[in-house]
Amino acid sequence: MKRITACAVAVGALFTLSQTAQADAFLDEAKAVVAKATAPSNKWDGPVSGPKIAANKSIVYIASDMKNGGVQGVKEGVVEAAKTAGWKLDVLDGAGSVKDQLAALNQAIAKKPAGIIIGGWNPNVAKIPLKKATEQGIALVGWHAVPQPGPAPEYNMFFNVGSDANEVSKVAAMYAIAKSEGKARVLIFTDSLYQIALEKANAMKAVVQKCSGCKLVEFIDTPLADTSNRMPQMTFSLLQKYGDDFEYALGINDLYFDFMGSSLKTAGKKGNAAPHNISAGDGSMSAYQRIRNGDHQSATVPEPLRLHGWQLVDELNRALSKSKPSGYVTPVHLVTKDNVAFDGGDKNVYDPQNDYQNQYKKIWGVK
């Protein structure tokens, strides 16, 4: 009997050692992912060839909601690129609602432009008018219109520009794991109105659940369009409900954290203490400022919004020239207080110093 007991103890000890080794390996992986994502991005890795710019084109950018910093940042890049291309640009605001996004799309189609950019909203709600646009010969491209970058033939969309949403989500969650030494207690914020938001949140959830020493406290679905009203009171409620378990908050973008700070301060939470807020997307100016000042945000996984604006114009030009998409997917970058000054961080925006404007000018044959 003693022999059997000793064997059981030995097996149990080996199993514990195996679990510990797996946990250590996953923590090492998280730290390696973070180290790669925080490195400077100063080398051009995008396209180097393509069609010359088509002359005298008109395009329309339809924003999901101009209150969203990511959508607005992309718009600024589109404005710069369209001006360089000599194109006429109209910008319409979808105002955060399906009704207004559809109205903007119908207004855009009526303008008979050469191309339309779907800026951060779900084209699934607009299949009929998008089909109408295609039938009229209007080229379609998107930014975060569907979860993954690349062509979206189901919507006749030539190319959907963006970083890989799964990789963005992985980096955000891995940062929480690395920062907590594999012991993070996590809440996740998303908005199921947007397919990409839900998929990003589920990807973060999957990473957290792979961490044996971590705990997923709650998965919270709350609309981005109403964060200013909801987040202040929700923050108090979460602090009361979870206490110290409200340690890491992962959001699908920075907007959730725009409206948490005042409640956290009122509750006596220091800016560099828990909850550590981490955003898996956009990298708004306000997020940069919070990270720089240690003001209730630890990190963001920004996208090169202005670069994406230039890429949208380039993809439209390829569509109008009957060329293939560039296939370019920008690599994932993580901003923390340690590297916030990199890549345009002094301007509170992620703007890679990789000469992308001149690279696109060379392709287009413009100065």
Assigned domain for 261 exists: yes
Q: Which domain holds residue 236?
A: 165-300
**pTM reported for the whole predicted model:** 0.80
> What are the start-end ranges of the E strands in 162-214?
185-190
The structure tokens 């409206």 sit at: 259
pLDDT at 8: 53
In this structure, the answer to whether residues 226 and 307 fall within a common structural domain is no
In this structure, the answer to whether residues 240 and 136 fall within a common structural domain is no
In this structure, the answer to whether residues 277 and 322 fall within a common structural domain is no
Between the alpha carbon of residue 65 and those of residues 120, 303, 336, 341, the distances in Å are 8, 17, 26, 28
In this structure, the answer to whether residues 67 and 157 fall within a common structural domain is yes
Q: Strands 157-161 and 150-152, how do they pair? A: antiparallel
pLDDT at 68: 83
Assigned domain for 105 exists: yes
In this structure, the answer to whether residues 291 and 309 fall within a common structural domain is no
pLDDT at 168: 94
Q: Which residues of the chain have pLDDT under 70?
A: 1-19, 343-345
The pLDDT tens digits for 210-225 are: 999 999 999 999 999 8
What region does 118 belong to: left with phi over 0, alpha with psi -120 to 50, or beta?
A: beta
- CATH of residue 212's domain is 3.40.50.2300
The pLDDT tens digits for 60-93 are: 999 999 988 789 999 999 999 999 999 999 999 9
Q: Strands 139-143 and 248-251, how do they pair? A: unpaired
pLDDT at 344: 56
In this structure, the answer to whether residues 175 and 258 fall within a common structural domain is yes
Total of domains in the chain: 2
- Measured CA to CA, the distance from residue 145 to residue 162 in angstroms comes to 9
